[in-house]
Amino acid sequence: MERITCKFGGSSLADSSCIRQVIDIIRANPARKYIVPSAPGKRTAEEKKITDLLYAWHNMARQGLDPTEPKSIIEERFSTLARELGVSFNVQPCLEEIAEHASRDEAPDYMASRGEYLNGKLIAEALGAVFVDPAECILFKENGQLDPRSYDLLGEKLQGDCLFVVPGFYGATPKGEIKTFSRGGSDISGSIVARATRSSLYENWTDVSGFRMADPRIVPDAKRIEEITYRELRELSYMGATVLHDEAIFPVREPGIPIQILNTKKPDSPGTLIVARRDSGHPVCGIAGRRGFTMFNIEKTLMNKEHGFGRKLLSIFEEHRVSWEHMPTGIDTISIIASDDELKGKVQTILESIERLLDPDDLTVTSGLAIVATVGKGMNRLVGVAARLTGALAEAGVNIRVINQGSSEMNILIGVEEQDLEKAVSAIYHAFDSWQ
Ligand code: ASP
């Protein structure tokens, strides 16, 4: 029998009319059995998400400030939802319990998780579904990673022919304390539920109709990606495509459960399907880019004959606890690219260590780099991809500072000056959007 896990994001659950749409979507297909809601998102651009209000409440309470404001906004939002949806759910006693935790000197995870918990309770009642608390069945190991026993525990709880609601975003530590995933982590919860229930499909309902080939803020008419593999998506989300949490693919990748990104406001649009394999479709599936990189360029004659040069260089980054991103090499040159977030305040000492340990002929730093990734599994079977890409950049007047092709031939990375990021993404998109 077909079974579907559906995760609904905060923007799809922001008010009672959104929740009614969600209920219609769930009822339209009886295979939609496992529902994973986020906390209510913003109703207007100025408003705060419930999760942000909970973090604010925690912060204020810990500093001894009066948290009445965030608390009463949360109360008002859930009471309005309950009233408008005609459910008896009463948020008041839950908020009193939350208030007791608010000022405790512990991580804010318990507080942050309550948005999903309360919304899960409310939606379960509105749907007549069984509420399953992830604190009892999504477990983290001591090191913060997901305990794989969670799949069996969840699987046991989610048996039977009912509709289930499992709030997203959190689970519990071995000590029984609530722990959340990183922000946007309900996508991961949905993926875990899909795997635990051996769902045939994981529907991720959000406020856009899937992924676009390029960021629509840069290319407003960028085409929708119909189908993309887990690996292609991994590369694109790593580079900044943010529709889905970048860790959400891991639980479903092994059993090969497809993820479909769908739009609650346009439920008939097919969105984007994320699959294990695709043999057809566009050779280039997307272009994404990020600012904020720095490149260390090291030149030394006969570097290629010197044993251990690369190891010594990388050990410097390891000692400084900087995880680097890319390492383009030449005959007598090697470069290391790292993000500015990783390098904060460490560039000078890294340069000194390189001078001391490797005695280079030349050592320079290029900062203010943006990296643009052109991703597509089909690129490896085509001649002329790089020529088309570099030609488009030349025509747009973008100077390529560095170019790197991953060994999978699924991703061409180019480094450009930060101010050229938009121009580069747009030029590459238009070079490939109608290429078959
Ligand atoms: N509510 C959480 C957040 O705002 C988790 C989620 O929505 O996925 O990050």
Tell me the per-residue pLDDT of 67-79, one tens digit each, with 9 for 90 and over. 999 999 999 999 9
d(CA 75, CA 90): 9
Pocket test for ligand 1, best of 7, 51, 244 (most atoms within 8 A of CB): 51
pLDDT bucket at 401, cuts 50 / 70 / 90: very high
In this structure, the number of other CB atoms found within 10 A of the CB of residue 81 comes to 24
Q: What are phi and psi of 390, to 5 degrees?
A: -70, -35
- The structure tokens listed for 271 are 């969105």
Q: For position 436, what pLDDT does the model report?
A: 65
Q: How far is the CA of 50 from the centre of ligand 1 (A)?
A: 9
Q: How far is the CA of 219 from the centre of ligand 1 (A)?
A: 27
92 contacts 71 by C-beta, under 8 angstroms: no
d(CA 35, CA 12): 13
Q: How far is the CA of 332 from the centre of ligand 1 (A)?
A: 47
Q: For the domain 4-275, what is the CATH code?
A: 3.40.1160.10
Strand partners for 287? 374
Best CA proximity match to 207, nearest among 247, 242, 259, 240: 242
CA 101 remoteness from chain centre: 29
238 contacts 181 by C-beta, under 8 angstroms: no
pTM of the predicted structure, to 2 decimals: 0.88
Q: For position 103, what pLDDT does the model report?
A: 77
d(CA 4, CA 38): 17
Q: For the domain 286-432, what is the CATH code?
A: 3.30.2130.10
**Closest ligand 1 atom, residue 185 Cα:** 8
Q: How far is the CA of 103 from the centre of ligand 1 (A)?
A: 22
pLDDT bucket at 234, cuts 50 / 70 / 90: confident
164 contacts 129 by C-beta, under 8 angstroms: yes
Strand, coil or helix: what is 217?
Answer: coil
**E strand map for 249-383:** 259-263, 272-275, 286-299, 333-339, 362-375
120-131 per-position pLDDT tens digit: 999 999 999 999
pLDDT, mean of residues 146-165: 96
- The structure tokens listed for 408 are 């999978």
**Closest ligand 1 atom, residue 180 Cα:** 5
pLDDT bucket at 279, cuts 50 / 70 / 90: confident
d(CA 418, CA 220): 20
Q: Is residue 208's pLDDT more than 70?
A: yes
Ligand 1: residues whose CB is within 6 Å? 10, 38-39, 49, 51, 115, 168-169, 183-186
* Domain parsing of the chain, residue ranges: 4-275, 286-432
pLDDT, mean of residues 20-43: 97
Q: Is residue 238's pLDDT more than 80?
A: no
33 contacts 200 by C-beta, under 8 angstroms: no
Virtual torsion, Cα 72, 74, 78, 84, nearest 10 deg? 70
Pocket test for ligand 1, best of 183, 188, 246 (most atoms within 8 A of CB): 183
Strand, coil or helix: what is 285?
Answer: coil
Q: What percent of the chain has pLDDT over 70?
A: 99
d(CA 214, CA 223): 8
Residue count (the chain)? 436
142 contacts 153 by C-beta, under 8 angstroms: no
